[in-house]
Amino acid sequence: MRIASWNINGIRACARKGLGEWLDGCEAGIVAVQEVRARLEQVPEDLRDRNGWHLDLVSAERPGYSGVALFARRAPDSVRSEIGEPEVDREGRLQIARFGSLRLVNAYFPNGNGKNRDLSRIPYKLDFYCRLYDELEESKQRGERILVMGDFNTAHREIDLARPKQNRETSGFRTEEREELDRWLRHGWVDTFRLFCEEGGHYTWWSQRFGVRERNIGWRIDYILASPGAVPFVRSAAIHPEVTGSDHCPLSVEVDEGIFEARPDST
């Protein structure tokens, strides 16, 4: 089965650019989207009730801001969007869904920039990383199958952005942000794309300035991370830069259907 993730930069705008048609043709069973920027009743009807898809959406308290959603060919067994931290929960950045034995986390990690690009949100961003890490750590250590996907708003290594030297002080490539993502990877989380591709030049976000995407001056800031328990079921991973409709492009993994089945030692 294919599982995909995409920061759609506004579900209403992306719907006008063909989101529904892409959903029907993407060959995915589950699609996690971020930066929805709408309440459920504001989502175009053909997406709310699209044939063959179940939709779960979480919006932020602030109108037109943040938000995540899951489109799935079958409804998840459960979905929750709160971890008991009001400063996190009110921004609508998280869904933790259960599909059989797979726990799927759809996350829109904060940008570190404040309103004036003053880096004032970096502490909040790092706190979000830490709270989600702690939320999942016990389950990861038990060997549960977990995929964490979404817009992480951080490029991990120099090969993950086109111009690393010029962006060392830019939120998304600052040392403290990269070190936090590195902590996840040191402690067992696996960057699924890098399991299959070690080459640079593969990006998931481009500035909307004229010609930037065409020249592939981008950043790889969207990921699908797999827990050690999930890694054996991952068969391939891909980035899909040919898909337009947002300043990000989708990414995906192909997983063995066994990832959803009960573990032999489960009770």
Q: Which of 118, 127, 151, 265 is catalytic?
A: 151
Cα 36 from Cα 53, distance rounded (Å):
17
| Residue 244: count of CB within 10 angstroms of its CB | 12
User: 82 by DSSP, 3-state: which?
Assistant: coil
Q: Residue 185: which residues within 8 A CB-CB, separation 6 or more? A: 156, 191, 225
User: 76 by DSSP, 3-state: which?
Assistant: coil
For residue 151, indicate whether it is catalytic. yes
How many residues are listed for the chain in this entry? Answer: 267
| Residue 192: count of CB within 10 angstroms of its CB | 26
Asked if 73 and 53 touch (Cβ cutoff 8 Å), the reply is yes
How many alpha carbons fall within 13 Å on the CB side of residue 10?
10
Asked if 180 and 157 touch (Cβ cutoff 8 Å), the reply is no
In 121-162, alpha helices (H): 122-141
Query: β-strands 94-99, 78-80: how paired?
Result: antiparallel
Cα 15 from Cα 64, distance rounded (Å):
15
- The catalytic residues are 151
